[in-house]
Structure 1
Amino acid sequence: MLLSDLYKTALLTAFSLTMVLASCTTSKYAATEKIYKDKAKGFAEIIGTVPPTGQLYDSLNATNQQWIGSVNFGIRKPNFVVIHHTAQDSLAQTVKTFFSTKAGTSAHYVVSRDGKVVHMVNDYLRANHAGISKWGKDTDLNSSSIGIELDNNGLTDPWPDAQINSLLKLLATLKKTYNIPTANFIGHADIAPKRKNDPKNFPWKKLADKGFGYWYDDVLKNPPADFNTEMALKYIGYDTSNLPAAITAFKIHFIQSDITPTLTPVDILVLYNVYTKY
């Protein structure tokens, strides 16, 4: 078998999981799952085309470029998990939204209030959940993360134990499967502080206790006199181009009882403690 044939075979094999999952249709969602299957097949064909099309670095001198497929490659793997609340009233409403091409949004998983987990986009594919966002130097979180939507209206809904327990099991699987660092379990507000505030009033400490994200210690030490709060926020990952928005996002995650865009003395103690963990 030629090297190029090996390359194409390996790529198509790598996408077989997507195709298997997409083929498991039910009568209720057969139409939308057919669209999913067709799109996945189209992506597999694009990636499996040897040599790749439309990837010339020098269109004026195409003969100066050669394709030799390497045998050492793999599918891109997610490095972050971004948690959202749906701001909708039910699991069914969110699923319907993710079927809408007009809405254009999606997530890899939706976790309902009763703990049911709905998987909607293959983990290796790019879902449209993060939008315009930034965390550290990463400006395309859609491409580097798994998005999880929690069925919660963002206003008065509590966080039921069944929902959080299912989320913890899901996060444990994702962390182990993709070797996601502890620091890389974050919220939508963290990566989009100018636009988003979700998930609100969320039990981040429960997640941190299980190794999904960081939380501050019970005993907080005073920072040094020259502690720079803006630099600390930036070091953690926050986009500080709009500092009040970054402060608010930090407080949505770690303070919650007060999300005004100013740091109180207690907030600074918390910030310093969290900063030292990164």
Structure 2
Amino acid sequence: MLFSNLYKTSLLTAFSLIMLLASCKTNRYAATEKIYKDKAKGFAEIIGTVPPAGQLYDSLNPTNQQWIGSVNFGIRKPNFVVIHHTGQDSLAKTIKTFFSTKAGTSAHYVIGRDGKVVHMVNDYLRANHAGVSKWGKDTDLNSSSIGIELDNNGLTDPWPDAQINSLLKLLVTLKKTYNIPTANFIGHADIAPGRKNDPKNFPWKRLADKGFGFWYDEVLKNPPADFDTEKALKYIGYNTANLPAAIEAFKIHFIQSDITKTLTPVDVLVLYNLYTKY
């Protein structure tokens, strides 16, 4: 009887250990998820505070301000999608980086080489992926865009079909959900000329063929004699404060075989063709 009880106890202990290990394995990110939920709850409390805390425009005469909540309002609606390469060697390393408060970076989505999609920040929240950036008149792309990181070291890695196929499926959903304009699917290099160069050697044409961004036509027409290349780059969205850097960013996206900081005659043909699409 004693042996039987000991046997049962051993079985229960072993079973409990197995369940504990399984729980740890399936909830390996439980700690960080709790931090995410706590931060989201904190933001919800700030938004829900009536009247909004600390929003007095006249601290010397606070009675000269009244709060009357309107019924017509909404939450952040992303208007751009910014695509990056991670510059790291694995999906796991990128996820670890996005857990680091010291690094302070994040993205809404990370897509692995095998096509696995990891959603890390709610689309309606602001992720820290764009940094100091500008596109057109928008100087805070973090607040207006969805950031997608693709697991790629930015050096020798190819772009696997599984990864690009998953990206295209995700973009279909994002474009439909938020009514994002075709022109507003861009790269990190586009919005941060001279500071960032990602994603490099990326299949932008494949995305454009599906309605995510523009690409130039096979037949290119000569621009008019007074065609201003700097104004054209600016019209598309590039920050031309550093013109050579803007040219480089344009060529990282659309030329790729040559990313020098000067426009060749062929580059000008491409630029003019794209300019007419915006």
TM > 0.5: yes
Query: Equivalent residues in 2 for 1:46-125 (5 A)?
Result: 46-125=46-125
CA distance in 1, matches of 2:224, 2:215: 20
Q: Which runs of 4+ in 1 moved over 3 A?
A: none
What residue in structure 1 maps to residue 6 of structure 2? Answer: none
What residue in structure 1 maps to residue 160 of structure 2? Answer: 160
CA distance in 1, matches of 2:73, 2:232: 37
Q: CA deviation at 1:134?
A: 0.3
What residue in structure 2 maps to residue 255 of structure 1? Answer: 255
Q: What is the one-letter code of the residue matched to 1:91?
A: L
CA distance in 2, matches of 1:118, 1:65: 45
Which SS does the other structure have where 1:147 is aligned? strand
What residue in structure 2 maps to residue 11 of structure 1? Answer: none
What residue in structure 1 maps to residue 175 of structure 2? Answer: 175
Deviations 1:82-135 (A, max 9, x none): 000000000000000000000000000000000000000000000000000000
CA distance in 2, matches of 1:72, 1:237: 31
CA distance in 2, matches of 1:40, 1:250: 37
CA distance in 2, matches of 1:211, 1:66: 46
Identity %: 91
Q: How high is the TM-score relative to the length of structure 2?
A: 0.91
CA distance in 1, matches of 2:198, 2:108: 17
Which SS does the other structure have where 1:148 is aligned? strand
What residue in structure 2 maps to residue 127 of structure 1? Answer: 127
Q: How high is the TM-score relative to the length of structure 1?
A: 0.91
What residue in structure 1 maps to residue 33 of structure 2? Answer: 33
CA distance in 1, matches of 2:102, 2:208: 36
Q: CA deviation at 1:194?
A: 1.9
Which SS does the other structure have where 1:118 is aligned? strand
Q: What is the one-letter code of the residue matched to 1:39?
A: K
What residue in structure 2 maps to residue 229 of structure 1? Answer: 229
RMSD (Å) for aligned C-alpha atoms:
0.8
CA distance in 1, matches of 2:137, 2:186: 15
CA distance in 1, matches of 2:55, 2:109: 33
CA distance in 1, matches of 2:220, 2:60: 62
- For the 8 Å contact 2:194–2:248, the answer to whether it is kept is no
Structure 1, gaps ≥5 residues long: 1-24
CA distance in 2, matches of 1:155, 1:247: 21
Larger Rg: 2
Deviations 1:232-277 (A, max 9, x none): 0000000000000000000000000000000000000000000000
CA distance in 1, matches of 2:241, 2:273: 22
Q: CA deviation at 1:142?
A: 0.2
Q: Give aligned pairs, total.
A: 254
CA distance in 2, matches of 1:194, 1:163: 27
Which SS does the other structure have where 2:82 is aligned? strand
What residue in structure 1 maps to residue 187 of structure 2? Answer: 187
CA distance in 2, matches of 1:34, 1:209: 40
